[in-house]
Chains A and B, each alone.
Chain A
Amino acid sequence: MDWLRKSAALLAIAAVLGGLSVAFNPAARAVLLDAPRDHEITVAQAQALGAAALWIDARSRADFEAGHVDGALLLNEDAWSELLIPVIERWQPGMPVVVYCDSHGCQASRKIAERLRAEAGVDTAKVLRGEWSKVGAR
C-alpha cells in the first residue's frame, strides 16, 4: 500500500502546485480562467477573422459615436428593431459575427448575441472576450 500513499502524496503536491500557479501566475490564470466559453471569441481569434467578420457594437449610440471598431454596426436594445435592419441586410449565412461592448460589467454584448442567434437566425454570433479597443485596425 506504500505505492498508493506515495501516489496520493504526489497528486496532492501537484494539486497544490497547480493551485499556486493559477493564483500567482497570470499566464496560467489566463489559460484556465479566461479561456473563451461557448459563443465567445478572444481578441486574437477575432483579429484572425480579418475582414470576413461582421462586427457589432452593443453599446449606446453615444458610446458608439465616440469610437468603435472600424466598420462595426451599432445594435443595441434601445432601438433593436431599427438597428437590426442593416445587420440583417449585411449578414450572409456562415459569416462570422463578433459582438462587443464595454468590459465594465457589460452584459449587452451577451444579450445582443443571444437575440441574434435566437430571433434573427444569426447562428454565428459570438461575444468578444476582451477589450474591443485592443482590436486595432483591421
Chain B
Amino acid sequence: MLPRRLLAAMLFAAIASSACLAGLKWDNPEVLLDLDSSMAGGEAVFTFVNDGAAPVKILNIKPGCGCTVPTLEKSEYAPGEHGSLSARFTTGERRGSYQVPIHVQLGDGDVAELSLVAQIRELVKYFPANLVWPKGEKRAPKDVEFHWNATDDVKVTALRSVNPSFKAELIDGHDWNGALVRLTPTGDEVTGTSVVIITTAQGPDRRSRTYTLVARAL
C-alpha cells in the first residue's frame, strides 16, 4: 500500500506545483478580425490573468508577420493580476484570409502561442487581372470590368499605366455598378509589359485602395 500512497502524494504534489507555476492564463488565445478593404486595419486584444503564485515577466513578443504590431501595457504581472496584449493588424494591400501566429516568451522559459486571424473582404471584384496579346495578335483594346455593390462607397480616383506604350482609360456607359477599364497597346508593333494601377477611395474615411492589372504584348 505504501507505494500507492507515495504515488498519490507525488501526483498531488506535481499537480499543486504545476498550478502554482501555471503563470499566464489566456482568456482568448485566438482573435478573429473581420475587416473589409475600406478599413486600414484592426486591433485584436488578448486578455490574460496571472493565475500562478509568482510574478510573471513577458520578455518578448514576436508576431509571424510584419503586418502585425503588438503592444503591451507593462511587462511584469503579479499573481492574480489581469492584463491585455494588443495587436494592430494593418490591411495594407492585403486581401483574403491571414493567420498570424504571435509568440509570447515568458520569463520562466514558457512560450504562449496566440493567433490573430484577419479576414479581409474585398469590396471590389475585377476580372481579368492579367491581359496578354499573343505574338501576331492584333493589338486591339481589351476591357476589364470592376464591380462593387451600390451600397459600398467606392470611387475610382486615379488610373495609371506605367508603360506609355499601353494606354489605359476609364470607359463610361456601362450598365453595372463599378467601372470599365480599357487597355490598348498604342501600335501594332508594341511588345513588352505594363503594370496598370487603379486607385480607389473607399468607405467613409475615403481610404485609398489600389488594384493592379498586368498587360503583356508578346
A residues at B contact (CB < 8 Å)? 59-60, 62-63, 76-82, 84-85, 88-89, 93, 104-108, 111, 118-121
With A107-B99, A120-B212, A121-B132: A77-B67 Cβ-Cβ less than 8 Å = yes
Counting contact residues on chain B (CB < 8 A from A), the size range is 20 to 34
Question: Which listed residue (A60, A77, A108) contacts B93, Cβ 8 A?
Answer: A77
B residues less than 8 Å from A104 (CB atoms): 62, 64, 103
B residues less than 8 Å from A105 (CB atoms): 64-65, 100-101, 103
Decide if A119 touches B214 in the complex (CB within 8 Å).
yes
Determine the main DSSP class of B at the interface with A. Answer: strand
B66 within 8 A of A: yes
With A81-B197, A85-B195, A106-B65: A120-B130 Cβ-Cβ less than 8 Å = yes
The contact string, 1 if C-beta is below 8 Å from chain A, for chain B 170-197, is 0000000000000000000000011101
Question: Which listed residue (A63, A78, A93) contacts B218, Cβ 8 A?
Answer: A93
B98 within 8 A of A: yes
Decide if B92 touches A78 in the complex (CB within 8 Å).
yes
B82 within 8 A of A: no
Which residue of chain B has its CB nearest to the CB of A82?
Answer: B197
B residues less than 8 Å from A60 (CB atoms): 66
Decide if B212 touches A79 in the complex (CB within 8 Å).
no
Decide if A106 touches B64 in the complex (CB within 8 Å).
yes
Chain B contacts with A in 52-72, Cβ cutoff 8 A: 62, 64-67
Q: Nearest-CB distance from A100 to chain B (Å)?
A: 14
How many residue pairs, one in A and one in B, have C-beta atoms under 8 Å apart? 73
Which residue of chain A has its CB nearest to the CB of B96?
Answer: A111
Decide if B216 touches A121 in the complex (CB within 8 Å).
yes
In the complex, A108 Cα to B62 Cα: how many Å?
A: 15
Which residue of chain A has its CB nearest to the CB of B93?
Answer: A80
The contact string, 1 if C-beta is below 8 Å from chain A, for chain B 93-111, is 1111011110100000000
Decide if A121 touches B214 in the complex (CB within 8 Å).
yes
Q: Nearest-CB distance from B46 to chain A (Å)?
A: 16
Q: Nearest-CB distance from B211 to chain A (Å)?
A: 8
With A80-B212, A93-B218, A119-B214: A107-B92 Cβ-Cβ less than 8 Å = no
Q: A76-B66, A121-B214 are in contact. List 8 more A-B contacts (CB 8 A).
A: A77-B95, A78-B67, A81-B210, A81-B211, A88-B195, A93-B218, A106-B65, A111-B98
List the 7 closest A-B pairs by CB distance, nearest first.
Answer: A105-B64, A60-B66, A121-B130, A80-B93, A105-B101, A119-B129, A81-B210
- Some 18 contacts from A to B, beta carbons below 8 A apart, are A60-B66, A62-B66, A76-B66, A77-B92, A77-B94, A77-B95, A78-B92, A80-B212, A81-B195, A81-B211, A82-B197, A84-B195, A104-B64, A107-B64, A111-B98, A119-B212, A121-B130, A121-B132
In the complex, A80 Cα to B197 Cα: how many Å?
A: 10
In the complex, A81 Cα to B200 Cα: how many Å?
A: 13
In the complex, A60 Cα to B63 Cα: how many Å?
A: 13
B162 within 8 A of A: yes
